Amino acid sequence: MSKRSCVPWEKADSSGLTRGVNLLHDPLRNQGTSFNEKERDLLGLQGLLPPRVLSQDGQVLRILANYALKPNDLEKYIFLIDLEDRNETLFYRVIMENLSLMMPIIYTPTVGKACQQFGHIFRRPRGLFISAKHKGRIAEVLENWPQDDVRVIVVTDGERILGLGDLGAQGMGIPVGKISLYTACGGIQPATTLPITIDVGTDNVRLLNDPLYIGLPQCRMRGEPYDQLIEEFFTSVQARFPNALIQFEDFANVNAFRLLQKYRDRGCVFNDDIQGTAAVALAGLYSAMRITGGRLRDQTFLFQGAGEAGIGIADLIVTAMVAAGLSDEQARRRCWFFDTKGLVVRDRTHLADHKIPYAHPHPRMETLEDSIQALRPTGILGVSGTPGSFTRPILEKMSTLNKRPIVFALSNPTSKAECTAEEAYVWSQGRAIFASGSPFEPVVIDGNTLIPGQGNNAYIFPGVGLGAVLSRARHVTSEMFMAAARTLAGEVGQSELSHGQLYPPIDNIRSVSAAIAAAVFQVADTQGLSRKPLPDDPIAYVRRKMYVPKYKRYA
């Protein structure tokens, strides 16, 4: 296949260099006012830029000054995406140096609001939109992507965006955001990444009636036609980008589990909502054990919500408990679920397939509080998207049953959290070991500052993806996610644990990702799934391969 340009309209001269306006319109190569005088002569840029050459450091100062002037988080999101659209190197320099400030803007929780407003704030397309109209032509559509060496693909069909539900094609904000984190947090080269939305319609009536909605104005494709489209997509991607890791993102429960099962052994594939969420939650539980002094195998967990996140977490907990010496049956009996119909028990009818392994023999329970009283769990994990469901009586009951109750309110965005950090700490008299899906501010209880841990998947998937890419792993396995969880928990220092913090500071995330990537590379090698030899010093090798946002000098 011939070498492609970075943007479809790009033209190069006989030397192979992109020149003039075309270069300034290429976000991968544009350096804006940082092009020096010799480069401006060489590349036909004289007169197209203001005369003063500004260093990248100066450009960063300008971006931060303008960022601070934006009146709200959505405007900050729009500002950063516009920067990414015109100069990716500068975008990643700004993000990587200000991760704790800007991650909540380019991803949760602000990205949820951005997806809801996506059609109204739409400026320039990023990634690929593959729609039901492209059935039979997906390979042709993939040929339109200008880069050949794609290593990471994040794909959604937009049906379950965070806790916000069906946003159709407007869910593209999620793959775009995840791809940004792959580079900023995991060091994946931006030119090798590709966000994709598969638009099969939407059942969101508000969007169908919105004249500015960007997707197909039709109800969702279901059944066999949907499966045929996904199959065509998968086989076409493998043919076009044979070295690509495929991350399924924000598919609804009805499709997420079965698509993962169908494709996980046919390629380098994982589902972040199921497996990434599981790993970050398991890492939080490993850290919690360091606080309590307990063992994971001795815990009992009650999940509120029995969707892909909850089942994924439970499955990985079971894997970890089995590795610690329990039988599969013993481990599963330590994980219980409470859904919209009550406690998931064996004699309930019409259970979804993914719930059946956790439907244990037990009398029916209609309320979460009664279930806690009966089961006496050491930890409750909220993955339901039902805000405020961890009430004061529930948290007081958990505190009565446990000296240090584990309370994970993992639903995103912030508005969907089962409880706030302040509620968890205050209602437990400061004894709760708390983590959430979205960030919360520190809370002071009796003079002690408690720092809530954010169980952000960005701690996991960039490192897992980087390890899979560098090892050229044939598949992504549960053992890789378990290794990622152990590695992440190991990055938490004793000083952080003393403040109840279950995860390392977000500004350390590139170092965390490097350690996870090295661990994943080692698992791939052990399992015989790596197509690259394991380096003598895996972490040093990974760090050398991580992207650094520096301008290439042409002259």
pLDDT digits 0-9 by tens, 136-155:
999 999 999 999 999 999 99
Percent of the chain with pLDDT over 90: 93
Burial 25-52 (b: 16+ CB within 10 A, else e): bbbbbbbbebbbeebbebbbbeeebeee
Q: pLDDT-based confidence at 3, cuts 50/70/90? A: very low
Question: Domain extents for the chain?
Answer: 107-267, 275-455, 459-544
- HSE at residue 505, side-chain half, CA atoms within 13 A, is 10
* DSSP states along 78-146: HHHHHHHHH-HHHHHHHHHHTHHHHHHHHSTTHHHHHHHTHHHH--S--SEEEEGGGTT-HHHHHHTSS
Higher-confidence residue of 333 and 18: namely 333
Question: What pLDDT shows up at residue 162?
Answer: 87
Which residue matches tokens 């405020």? 388
CB atoms inside a 10 Å sphere around CB 458: 27
Percent of the chain with pLDDT over 70: 97
pLDDT surpasses 90 at 4: no
Question: What pLDDT shows up at residue 15?
Answer: 53
- For 459-544, CATH gives 3.40.50.10380
Contact 510, 546 (CB under 8 A): yes
Mean pLDDT value across residues 241-262: 96
Q: How far is CA 14 from CA 17, 75, 258, in A?
A: 8, 42, 50
Contact 463, 539 (CB under 8 A): no
Could you say which DSSP state residue 297 is in?
G
Question: What pLDDT shows up at residue 413?
Answer: 84
> Torsion-angle region of residue 250: left (phi > 0), alpha (psi -120 to 50) or beta?
left
Out of 3.40.640.10, 3.40.50.2300, 3.10.20.30, 3.40.50.10380, select the CATH number for domain 107-267: 3.40.50.10380
Contact 168, 207 (CB under 8 A): yes
> Torsion-angle region of residue 238: left (phi > 0), alpha (psi -120 to 50) or beta?
alpha
CA angle 152, 155, 159 (to 5 degrees): 160
Domains 107-267 and 275-455 share a fold: yes
382 vs 306: CA distance, rounded Å? 10
pLDDT surpasses 70 at 6: no
- For 275-455, CATH gives 3.40.50.720
Question: What pLDDT shows up at residue 16?
Answer: 62
List active site positions.
107, 178
Tell me phi and psi for residue 476, to 5 degrees: -110, 125
Among candidate residues 482, 542, 485, 481, the one with its CA nearest the CA of residue 511: 542
Question: What pLDDT shows up at residue 17?
Answer: 76
Q: Which of helix, strand or coil describes residue 193?
A: strand
Mean pLDDT value across residues 424-429: 97
537 vs 555: CA distance, rounded Å? 35
3-state secondary structure 433-482: EEEECCCCCCEEECCEEECCEECCHHHCHHHHHHHHHHHCCCCCCHHHHH
- Residue 101, classified by CB atoms within 10 Å of its CB into exposed (0-12), middle (13-18) or buried (19+), is middle
CA angle 130, 136, 141 (to 5 degrees): 40
549 vs 168: CA distance, rounded Å? 33
pLDDT surpasses 50 at 241: yes
CB atoms inside a 10 Å sphere around CB 289: 18
User: Which sign, positive or negative, has the C-alpha torsion 188, 101, 516, 114?
Assistant: negative
Among candidate residues 270, 268, 273, the one with its CA nearest the CA of residue 244: 268
pLDDT digits 0-9 by tens, 75-85:
999 999 999 99
Could you say which DSSP state residue 288 is in?
H
Question: What pLDDT shows up at residue 81?
Answer: 97
Residue type at position 48: L
Long-range (24+ apart) CB contacts under 8 A made by 511-514 are 512/459, 512/463, 512/487, 512/488, 513/185, 513/186, 513/187, 513/462, 513/463, 513/466, 513/546, 514/187, 514/463, 514/466, 514/539, 514/542, 514/543, 514/546
Question: What pLDDT shows up at residue 5?
Answer: 41
